[in-house]
Amino acid sequence: MLLHIPGLFSREEVLRIREALEQAEWADGKVTAGHQSAKAKHNLQLPEGHPLAKEIGAAMLDRLWKCPQFMSAALPHKVFPPLLNCYSAGGSFDFHIDNAVRQPKGSPERVRTDLSSTLFFSDPDDYDGGELVIQDTFGVQQVKLPAGDMVLYPGSSLHKVNAVTRGTRYASFFWTQSLVREDSQRTLLFEMDGALQQLTQDMPDHPALIQLTGTYHNLLRRWVEV
């Protein structure tokens, strides 16, 4: 499942965040890449634990835990602290698959990367190239969203970032360990939850809602890992 989540940050918030990112001191993005990925990665990144990355990441997580779409689609159990990256002057990241398990710097906690996310802080008109290309069972998708919007997709997907040939692409990326490991099961639960919400609006007193809600939770009980 690939999901576009719009408007996590307002236009005014995005402008403030981007202004701060433009003033930041960036490091080589290879520092958080695995052995194979490092060969394909050509970008800049705020170091893990950087005060600005922690501030923006905390704001992102606060929004995500209040976002019904994210909660329904991801069913989050653990979230890796969001990281910030920068692509410019030909920067790119060739096709790769994210490491299955990530460990935040200085933490004993490990996060299984069931879901990958990218939140854009640059508008599509601010740069040329820089599309996030995702290849999975749903086909090949090129993603280039408005600033403040986020895309959520399976961590098992082969993906890349096309070279930025003009301007600068600022974004945040992170991984989520879901309560439900299997993407196809999460997709069924997400679709069922959406249908239940629609039925609740259209026919709030229909007796079948109780049965369907119970079925949703019984499926979740069968598939959840804690």
98 is known to lie in a ligand binding site: yes
28 is known to lie in a ligand binding site: no
Query: What gap in Å lies between CA 9 and CA 63, rounded to an integer?
Result: 8
Q: Which token pair is 166?
A: 């003009």
End-to-end CA distance of the chain: 22
Q: What is the largest CA-CA distance in the chain?
A: 59
126 is known to lie in a ligand binding site: no
63 is known to lie in a ligand binding site: no
Query: What gap in Å lies between CA 128 and CA 144, rounded to an integer?
Result: 10
Residues at the binding site for Fe cation are 96, 98, 159
Annotated binding residues: 96, 98, 159, 169
The annotated binding site for 2-oxoglutarate is made up of: 169
